[in-house]
Amino acid sequence: MPRLVRRKPLLQRLSTLLNPMDFLLWLSEELETRDWDSENAGTQLGLGLNFVFLLARANSGSAPTTDDVFGSEDKSLWLSLIANSIVWGLGIFAVTNGVYTLSRTRKYRMFEANIDVQPGTPSARRVRVQGSPASSSPLRFLANMITPEGPESRSHPDKNRDVWELAVWDPLPISMRLFCLFGPAHVLVYSMFLPLASLDPRPSITVFNTLFLQVILSAQLLLFFSKFTQQGKDNSIIQKEVMHEYDTKFVHPFMHPVVRDVGIQVSTDAGTTA
C-alpha cells in the first residue's frame, strides 16, 4: 500500500462535497457551451413546466376538513404538501430565470473612445483599464446588489487609467424561450385563477380562461421576441451592405486605380532630312 503523504481534513472534504458552487459551475458550462437546439429545447421545457405547474396549482388547495371519525386525510395532506412544494419550486425557478434573462450582459471596452465624452446610452460606465471585465451570472448580480462600493470606485476618475465599458444585453436563447413560455407573468396568472373555489359555478370556464390568457401572453412575447431578433438581423445586413458599398465606391478605386501602359514611337528621320 503506498504511503499516504497528505490527506484533507474530514470537515474540508465534507464541505467540498456539499458545496453547490461546483454544480452551478457545471450547469453554467453546460448552458453556455453545449451545442443544442435552444429553441426546441426551450419550447419543450416551457410547455412541460406549464403542464406540471397547472396540475400542481390545481391540487395545491387545503385539504377538505371532514368530521368523519373513521376518515383518513393522510393522502390528501401529502398530496397538498407535494403540490405546494412543486408550486413554490417552479415559481422560484421562473422568477430566477426571468431575473437572469433580463440581467445577463456581455462587456465590451472602448479603448479608443474619448473618455471625456460619455456615450449616449445608460449601459456605459467608466472603469479602470487594469481591471478585467466581470462575468455575468446570477451570483454576480446578487453580489453587486449586496456588496457596498469600495474606496477605489469612489475615487476621483483619472482619464489616463479609465475607459468606457459597454454592457450589452446578451440573454441565452434557451433562457429567453423559457421566459416567453414560463415566466413570472405566467405564474401570476396561474396563482390568480387556481386552485378552483369549491363554490365556483363554472369551473371549466375558469380553467379555459386561464389557459386562454396563457396562450395570449406566450404568443405576444414570442412574437415580440421574433420581431426584435429579425430587426437585429436586418440592421446587421444593412450595416454590412453600407460598408460594402463604401468600399466598392471609394476605398477600392483609390487602393487599386486603373492604369494603362502607353507606348510612344518617335521617328528620327523627319528631323534629320534637309
All three cell numbers of 150, joined, read 469600495
Give the span between the Cα atoms of 247 and 254, in whole angstroms.
10
Q: Kindly state whether residues 81 and 93 are assigned to the same domain.
A: yes
Indicate whether 43 belongs to any domain: yes
Q: Kindly state whether residues 194 and 160 are assigned to the same domain.
A: no
Q: Kindly state whether residues 114 and 246 are assigned to the same domain.
A: no
Q: How many other β-carbons are positioned within 10 Å of the β-carbon of residue 31? A: 13
Strands, E, within the chain: which ranges?
Answer: 105-110, 124-128, 162-169
* Residues in contact with 235: Cβ distance below 8 Å, sequence separation at least 6, in sequence order: none
Question: Which residue bears the cell 415580440?
Answer: 224
Q: Kindly state whether residues 150 and 55 are assigned to the same domain.
A: no
Return the percent helix, strand and coil in the chain, to nearest 5: 60, 5, 35
Q: Kindly state whether residues 179 and 93 are assigned to the same domain.
A: yes
Cis peptide before 257 (omega within 30 of 0): no
Q: Count of domains in the chain?
A: 2
Strands, E, within 72-194: which ranges?
Answer: 105-110, 124-128, 162-169
Q: Kindly state whether residues 177 and 99 are assigned to the same domain.
A: yes
Strand-pair partners of 105: 169
Looking at 147, 170, 193, which one is the last position of a domain?
170
Answer yes or no: pTM beyond 0.75: no
Q: Kindly state whether residues 43 and 144 are assigned to the same domain.
A: no
Looking at 120, 146, 170, which one is the last position of a domain?
170
Q: Kindly state whether residues 50 and 179 are assigned to the same domain.
A: yes
Residue-by-residue pLDDT tens, the chain, 274 positions: 566 666 777 777 777 777 777 777 777 777 666 666 677 888 888 889 989 988 888 887 654 544 444 445 556 788 888 888 888 999 999 999 889 888 888 888 888 778 878 888 888 888 877 765 555 555 555 555 555 555 555 454 566 778 888 888 888 888 888 899 888 999 998 888 888 777 777 878 888 888 898 999 999 999 988 898 898 889 889 999 999 898 888 888 888 787 777 777 766 665 555 4
Indicate whether 242 belongs to any domain: yes
Question: Which residue bears the cell 385539504?
Answer: 63
Indicate whether 22 belongs to any domain: no
Indicate whether 10 belongs to any domain: no
All three cell numbers of 260, joined, read 494603362
Indicate whether 113 belongs to any domain: yes
Q: Kindly state whether residues 242 and 203 are assigned to the same domain.
A: yes
Q: Kindly state whether residues 109 and 220 are assigned to the same domain.
A: no
Looking at 130, 147, 170, which one is the last position of a domain?
170
Q: How many other β-carbons are positioned within 10 Å of the β-carbon of residue 104? A: 20
Indicate whether 264 belongs to any domain: no
The amino acid that residue 243 corresponds to is M
Indicate whether 193 belongs to any domain: yes
Q: Kindly state whether residues 118 and 184 are assigned to the same domain.
A: no
Dihedral (Cα; 229, 234, 240, 241), 10-degree rounding: 170
Q: Kindly state whether residues 57 and 192 are assigned to the same domain.
A: yes
Range of 236's domain?
Answer: 35-64+73-103+173-253
